[in-house]
């Protein structure tokens, strides 16, 4: 028979495995406030894994997947918003989120770009301006 804590611990382990991160173990000291999982190279992500028997929005996500995802590479995305909240939330399957992080990792290696915890680039990214250059000002005598 499984213990009560096995389900949420298993979810934390699964998150670490799929996202190629590590589970944060606090032992029995729950006074330490920390995230459940940390992902190297993505220190701006704050991951907290919650396990429940049923989440109503998971049913909606399954409907999105069934209705719109025809190809195996399609990713179902559910956007939800509470009527009193200013912002909305995005829900994607864990495996799909892991695939998105893998794409970002490959792009970062290709561009040789790293990010620190302040979300600033540690190496310059070669970019081109998105707007047209302004015409030169002409001085009149």
Is the predicted pLDDT of residue 140 greater than 70, yes or no?
A: no
pLDDT value of position 46: 87
Alpha carbon distance 12, 50 (integer Å): 9
The tens digit of pLDDT for each residue in 25-83 reads: 877 776 677 788 889 999 888 888 888 888 888 899 999 999 999 998 999 999 999 88
CA 93-18-78 angle, to 5 degrees, is 10
pLDDT value of position 125: 45
The tens digit of pLDDT for each residue in 105-137 reads: 999 998 876 655 555 444 544 444 555 555 556
pLDDT value of position 24: 87
24: exposed, middle or buried (Cβ count in 10 Å: 0-12, 13-18, 19+): middle
pLDDT value of position 100: 94
Q: Which two tokens stand for residue 110?
A: 């290709």
State pTM to two decimals. 0.68
Give me Rg for the CA atoms of the chain.
Answer: 21
CA 124-100-42 angle, to 5 degrees, is 50
End-to-end CA distance of the chain: 91
115 in helix, strand or coil?
A: strand
CA atoms 12, 17, 21, 24: torsion sign: positive
Q: Which two tokens stand for residue 106?
A: 């490959």
């Amino acid at each position: 028979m499984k213990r009560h804590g096995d389900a949420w611990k298993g979810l934390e382990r699964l998150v670490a495995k799929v996202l190629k991160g590590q589970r944060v173990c606090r032992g029995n000291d729950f006074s330490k406030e920390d995230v459940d999982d940390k992902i190297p190279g993505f220190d701006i992500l704050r991951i907290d894994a919650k396990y429940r028997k049923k989440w109503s929005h998971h049913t909606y996500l399954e409907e999105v997947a069934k209705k719109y995802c025809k190809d195996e590479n399609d990713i179902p995305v559910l956007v939800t918003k509470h009527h009193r909240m200013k912002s909305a939330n995005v829900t994607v399957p864990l495996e799909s989120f892991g695939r998105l992080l893998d794409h970002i990792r490959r792009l970062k290696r290709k561009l040789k770009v790293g990010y620190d915890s302040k979300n600033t680039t540690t190496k310059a990214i070669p970019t081109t301006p998105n707007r047209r250059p302004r015409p030169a000002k002409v001085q009149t005598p």
